[in-house]
Structure 1
Amino acid sequence: MANPVSTDVAVIGSGVVGALVARKLALAGRDVLMLEAGPRIARGEIVVNFRRSPRKGDFVAPYPYAELAPFPIYQPEDNGYLDQLGPYPYKPEYLRVVGGTSWHWAAQAWRLLPSDFRLRTQYGVGRDWPISYDDLEPYYYEAEVLWGVSGPQAMEKYSPRAQPFPMPGVAPSYLEQRIAERLAPQFEVLTNTTGRNSLPYGGRPQCCGNNNCMPICPIDAQYHGGIAVADAEKAGVKLLAKAVVYKLEHDARGRITALHYFDWDKVSHRLEAQVFILAANAIEIPRILFLSADDKFPNGLCNNNDQLGRHLMDHPSNSATFYVDEPLWAGRGPMSPASIQTLRDGPWRDRHAAFRIDFSNSSRVASITAAAIAEGLTGKALDAAIRDRAAREISIKNVLEQLPDPNNRVTLSTRKKDALGLPTPAFSYSFDDYVERGMQASLTQYEQIARLLGATDIRYSKPGVYGNNQHITGTLAMGADPQTSVTDPFGRAWDFENLYMVSTGVMPTVATANSTLTASALGLRTADAILGRLKGVGA
């Protein structure tokens, strides 16, 4: 489309959350323009790229990379986009394409628990949210209907619901059924709630168990940001791709007046709007606000109280891999089908991190084959080893809560710049004893699960080395006090009356659920605030 000079609402970022918000505003009659730094992509092209990729476990590899809209890549080597300041490296994976990072996700769609909103009050750690579970419950359901969320009725006892799930849970695989049966004396194993069709829904087919939900569902049974963008455009939203926003402009009256962006010819453009919505991720939004520093705000916009970019959180994980004493045949059905929810809350939460335990159903054939060949096996011995081990090996992992820590922070690099000459993001990051104690508690649960499954050859991930789950939160935390938060309870910036943030970044705590459904619910609530449907707010 031609480069516009003005619009009613400018949405910066085209991921799931931004697209849902843009759609809702457009359906209410607003003129909405959504800007995306990266290019448009097509599902069919990504499926082909995945099939041809030699690195099937690299979920970023099938997606187009552009120097003008860079994102972190770690395989076969780190591309160095992110500046690691330590003491622990934080290595998120995200995409800058139309539709955002949810193209290569697992579409997990748990709600938070009511207690997650009052962590400080109930357990004396972390911080409370400025809103309650009840405030967000109707927006959770609104998001679930738009995504097409499937889930078991039993999940209601953890996160109460006013309406049933749009669809029942996806049919359990044989692996899930046997694990649930064998762990039943001690653990309740539930089918995961996901943005994945268990029935035809939204013009898309039901899940057929391809087992490559990540990095791409080949039949679109799984919801993603590309679908959200298409729905937004049907509602009248205009999309401008390859538009790298690098600065917000403001007046003396506390309003944002324009944004500036580079196109991919490195030409700068200026766009005016009445309302501005930052809808990129919790790393790229702080980056834009830091880049917008000027004489009045030398430390960046929305940073009068030095809160911008602080409290960076994710879900640290470790894992255990072992052989079960019977064939379970991982690789048929969704890759992450079931989990244990009972450890997400409890009186011990004042001492150590809560966590969820997930069961992997990813095919084991490739990794087991490589390991067997490395052992020197050939011929019939190799074939027998692959058949036996691939049938019996499974992996489990935890997903731990991390408390907000102001020293965990996104800033601008003073050492690295991208192809447009803009400083790249930099991280200060570490784990505290709360996480470490949670890791130890989860190891005890791993041992019990392994015992119930008759496990042999148990292999734990390396002590003290944790993966993250790309659930980037906290850097734009909402709150009731501008001294300790970046936005108000509706996602509006404290410092600018027409600037809103819809992102996982506004979550004050990370809890134990994947963050995008909560961010979607928060974004839909923010849209109502912008439309003046919530008392005391509007633009």
Structure 2
Amino acid sequence: MEINRVSAKDINEEHYELVVVGSGFGSSFFLTEALKHLTGRALILEWGDFHPWDWQIQTQSSSAIKPDSTYDNRGEKPWNTTIALGGGMNCWYSQTPRLHPSDFAIRTRYGVGNDWPLSYAELEPYYCQAEQIMSIAGDPDMTRVLPRSQPFPQPPHKGSSIDMLMKEAMPDHHFIMPTGRARVATGTRGVCCANATCNLCPMNAKFTAQNGLAELYSHPKVDVCLKTEVRTLEYQGNIIKGVTIRSDGQEFKVFGDLFVLGANAIQSPAILLRSDINFGETGMGLHEQVGANVEVYLDGLGNFDGSTITTGLNYSLYDGDFRKEHSACLVYFENRWPYGLRPEIGRWNQTLPLMLVSEDLPNVENRVVIDPQTGQAIIDYRGESDYGMKGVQYGLDSLEKLLAPLPVESINFREWRLTESHVQGTLRMGQVDDGSVVDGHMVHHKMRNLVVVGTATYPSCSPANPSLTAAALSIRAADLLYS
């Protein structure tokens, strides 16, 4: 992949029309839309380096920088990020369900959490745009729970025999997982081989920055400055004027008209706090989903005949008045064997791994702060909410009834999931006086030429994977800004 590389020294004291901090989903999808409107030049500032796909496969790594070296984690829970060009697009598993319409209004509907300052209907056209860019393979039946105005770009993956039984019994609740893993080969991507190593896809089948956005980083209007950390934003009044960057032990400055902050939900608030831009609940509300792993033994029914790692998605436990008391639960039907195959002769594949994933309520006590001496990000996480844990327990208690269409021999709890690797919150969207940091257009409430993108802006925590929504939100933010 060709990149318009510049060094920090090259761009010292330079001025850009658009300065983009970070290069993950939020930043890159914003720039994809913004480039349609720019008259001047844009700059991407990325702390990590560019690592080609073949390097990632050979080294079995998405970045040369360990995520826990970029922050001080005061708790036991891991917080996974990817510091490299493309950010999480390098390592994601590319599961791409949309958020549920109710997720955008859980305070209004159920009296918990925070409403989003936009609705599902407002975001829906941008979901379609993001799905087109990523060539999402999806089940058209999903429109029964997640309305859509355009078909999926690719047909759904082949479900397992289990999924077919579940879909027949629950046509309004069981669907084939939508994915950024190709069902049909494209010019730059192979077909998913279902070998369950999606974080380092050996077929180059999943959407990544390299096989999907290569033209962005080689665009004649875009400069890319790698191995460069953004330390602070410089401002006068309510206008950001420039950024201070660090590279090879030296500091430089770059100036601009518009700034986009998308350095992930740990580093983005750290940059603002180091800059003494502490509006609302900056750094507060760090969260992600709560999850559990279950293994179901089946009697006479085999599994693992689907065409991708996770084949089924069941919404039976997702939405309803119960969300006043406990969280929604989304059930993932797996096409892999994390606990091995069954040892009984002739029954090796008669097992069904399930992931139960529940939303959590953001808590202002779970937060990112900075070390006053070094400015390094510090993660102060106090734990999951009872609301979220009760949602997972609700899922566990409901499994016997949910799995009634299958010949179940036993349901076996295996473990609580340490992390979903979905770092969210810390710079949430909302109204100017409700503790939020950015508005519904993702513009900072105080610094009006600063757009904040990515999952840091999430006001609440859906059970669904967040990356597609981050991409759609960024396309929308750029479209609204330039329209």
In the other structure, the counterpart of 1:396 is 354
Equivalent residues in 2 for 1:360-379, closer than 5 Å: 360-364=334-338, 367-368=339-340
In the other structure, the counterpart of 1:467 is 418
After superposition, the Cα gap between the structure-2 partners of 1:33 and 1:389, relative to the gap in structure 1 and judged at 3 Å, is farther
- In 1: Cα distance, 2:433 partner to 2:267 partner: 21
In the other structure, the counterpart of 1:43 is 53
- In 2: Cα distance, 1:80 partner to 1:287 partner: 11
Work out whether 1:525 is the aligned partner of 2:476.
yes
Equivalent residues in 2 for 1:21-420, closer than 5 Å: 21-30=30-39, 31-50=41-60, 62-66=61-65, 70-72=66-68, 81-85=71-75, 89-172=76-159, 176-181=160-165, 184-185=168-169, 188-201=173-186, 203-236=187-220, 237-251=222-236, 253-263=237-247, 265-293=248-276, 301=277, 303-305=278-280, 307-326=281-300, 328-330=302-304, 333-364=307-338, 367-368=339-340, 385=343, 390-413=348-371
Q: Indicate the SS of the match to 2:138.
A: coil
Work out whether 1:491 is the aligned partner of 2:433.
no
In the other structure, the counterpart of 2:3 is none
Deviation, 1:178, is 2.8
After superposition, the Cα gap between the structure-2 partners of 1:387 and 1:523, relative to the gap in structure 1 and judged at 3 Å, is farther
TM superposition score normalised by structure 2: 0.90
TM superposition score normalised by structure 1: 0.81
Any conservation in 2 of the 1:99–1:228 contact (CA below 8 Å)? Answer: no
Any conservation in 1 of the 2:158–2:308 contact (CA below 8 Å)? Answer: no
After superposition, the Cα gap between the structure-2 partners of 1:40 and 1:449, relative to the gap in structure 1 and judged at 3 Å, is same
- In 2: Cα distance, 1:154 partner to 1:206 partner: 25
Any conservation in 2 of the 1:413–1:423 contact (CA below 8 Å)? Answer: yes
- In 2: Cα distance, 1:83 partner to 1:43 partner: 29
Amino acid at match of 1:82: D
After superposition, the Cα gap between the structure-2 partners of 1:23 and 1:186, relative to the gap in structure 1 and judged at 3 Å, is closer
- In 1: Cα distance, 2:403 partner to 2:329 partner: 18
- In 1: Cα distance, 2:348 partner to 2:243 partner: 53
- In 1: Cα distance, 2:19 partner to 2:448 partner: 14
Structure 1: 5+ residue stretches without partners: 51-61, 73-78, 294-300, 370-383, 534-539
In the other structure, the counterpart of 1:427 is 380
- In 2: Cα distance, 1:489 partner to 1:448 partner: 40
Deviations 1:253-308 (A, max 9, x none): 31111101111x21111110111100121111011111222xxxxxxx1x233x00
- In 1: Cα distance, 2:411 partner to 2:100 partner: 32
- In 1: Cα distance, 2:225 partner to 2:345 partner: 50
Q: Indicate the SS of the match to 2:74.
A: strand
Amino acid at match of 1:402: D
Deviation, 1:9, is 0.4
Q: Indicate the SS of the match to 1:27.
A: coil
Any conservation in 2 of the 1:353–1:401 contact (CA below 8 Å)? Answer: yes
Q: Indicate the SS of the match to 1:20.
A: helix
Deviations 1:119-162 (A, max 9, x none): 11111111211111121111111111111112111111111111
- In 1: Cα distance, 2:417 partner to 2:279 partner: 34
Amino acid at match of 1:38: G
Q: Indicate the SS of the match to 1:196.
A: coil
Q: 1:515 aligns with which of 446, 455, 466?
A: 466
- In 2: Cα distance, 1:226 partner to 1:501 partner: 23
- In 2: Cα distance, 1:279 partner to 1:45 partner: 25
Deviation, 1:316, is 0.7
Any conservation in 2 of the 1:368–1:386 contact (CA below 8 Å)? Answer: no
Q: Indicate the SS of the match to 1:337.
A: strand
- In 2: Cα distance, 1:388 partner to 1:248 partner: 63
Any conservation in 1 of the 2:48–2:63 contact (CA below 8 Å)? Answer: no
- In 2: Cα distance, 1:37 partner to 1:387 partner: 52
Deviation, 1:177, is 2.5
- In 1: Cα distance, 2:217 partner to 2:64 partner: 24
Q: What's the RMSD between the two structures over aligned residues?
A: 2.4
Q: 1:18 aligns with which of 27, 35, 52?
A: 27
